[in-house]
A = this chain, B = another copy of it.
Amino acid sequence: MSGWSAGLCAPRLDERAARLLLSRMGEPYDEFVQELVAEYGVLDLVGYALRDGHTPDGTGLGRLLGRRERALAADDGHICRALGLRVLVPGDEEWPGVLDELPWAPWCLWVRGSVRLEEVPERSVAVVGARASTAYGEHQAARLCMDLAERGFAIVSGAAYGIDAAAHRAALAAGGTTLAVLAGGVDVPYPRTNADLIARIGQVGALVSETPPGGAPARMRFLARNRIIAALATGTLVVEAGLRSGARSTAKNARDLGRHLMAVPGPVESGMSAGCHAEIRMGATLVTDAAEVIELVGRIGLDLAPVKQGGVREEDVLDDGLRRIWQWLRPRRSSSVDEVMVRSGLTMAEVLAGLGELEELGLAEHLLDGWRRRSAR
């Protein structure tokens, strides 16, 4: 990757270099900067900042200029080689396209580790929860994450105390994949007492941050990185959370993104389960084991296939039409034919034929009040 060296003039600025510079000059959560990026794009905005100090309509960019010299001085090529990192920007093959669904996507991501980021959102669960977790919560995180990791789901979390650490550790213990999205730079392990765990995640999983190397894990950066945790995962699971827990901001991001949101229940007197119960009351799916998580985030054929019969593999027989029907069936509530019609955009004849076929495949069942998704477990 080629950084944009200090002292060279504007014509050498390209999108990648502009994004790296912006990530060192501003903060992604700064609404002032977000609005300017939305209006001008990163490349032009950084160009204005470096060249004129203001936008064409005269908006002063002083807020970005305070860190300009330091940003220009940073040699990201050298830093990445020295620290064993890579930087991703939109358009890179490894850039997870789902990040662009965020209201304010990261400008770039620093990554350490061998996991390819673009594959993560297809088969992963963000497991988040309280720092001040209880033994109950840590046990649930460990149990669920071991089972999920064994089934090939990457565990995405934030490397914090408590539930985060229990989730990462369980994934590592199961020989699975785990990613930690950090608030500070990927070379700044935080909290310090989790430094060994974070180092291990960087070796066998991946450390990810939108904060440049060396950046401090400042408070606002924690809230901002929660949106990346939610976006990188197929679904988000809240294991334990107080009513005002940071984990609930990750949950909110998952909900806003339309991702599956799940929560583990617990004793009603436990303040650490109160946030989970509140999320369930707001629509999160209550889950008690990995199978129930996979029922939501798993893929048909791979995870939900019934016991094999006669050598027919479900992923071979399910065409697009059947998939479109199947995806609107729910495992625990019945859907009417009308509902499936409306959602799938198929005709009644197509829906009825498809439901019959899914029933024969053991992937749907017809109950008195409608149709349900069926799995073989």
Contact = CB atoms under 8 A, between A and B. Distances in A.
B332 A282 contact: yes
A274 B283 CA distance: 19
Contacts of A304: none
A332 B281 contact: yes
B280 A280 contact: yes
A288 B277 contact: yes
* Copies of the chain in the assembly: 2
Interface stretch (A149-157, A228-236, A265-273, A339-347): A265-273
Given A277-B286, A281-B292, A286-B280, A267 B136 contact: yes
A288 B264 contact: no
B268 A266 contact: yes
Q: Counting chain B CB atoms within 10 Å of each CB, which of A140, A268, A285, A292 scores highest? A: A268
A333 interface: yes
A313 B308 CA distance: 64
Interface in A323-374: 332-333
B292 A285 contact: no
Interface in A130-148: 136, 140
Contact of A140 (B268, B283, B288): B268
Contact of A288 (B136, B268, B282): B268
A332 B277 CA distance: 12
A277 B140 CA distance: 15
Nearest to A140: B268
Interface string A201-229: 00000000000000000000000000000
B288 A274 contact: yes
A281 B277 contact: no
A285 B280 CA distance: 8
Nearest to A266: B267
A238 to B, nearest CB: 13
A286 B274 CA distance: 11
Interface of A: 136, 140, 264-268, 273-274, 277, 280-283, 285-289, 292, 332-333
18 contacts: A136-B267, A264-B268, A265-B265, A265-B266, A265-B273, A265-B286, A266-B266, A266-B267, A268-B288, A277-B288, A280-B286, A281-B285, A281-B286, A281-B292, A281-B332, A282-B332, A282-B333, A286-B286
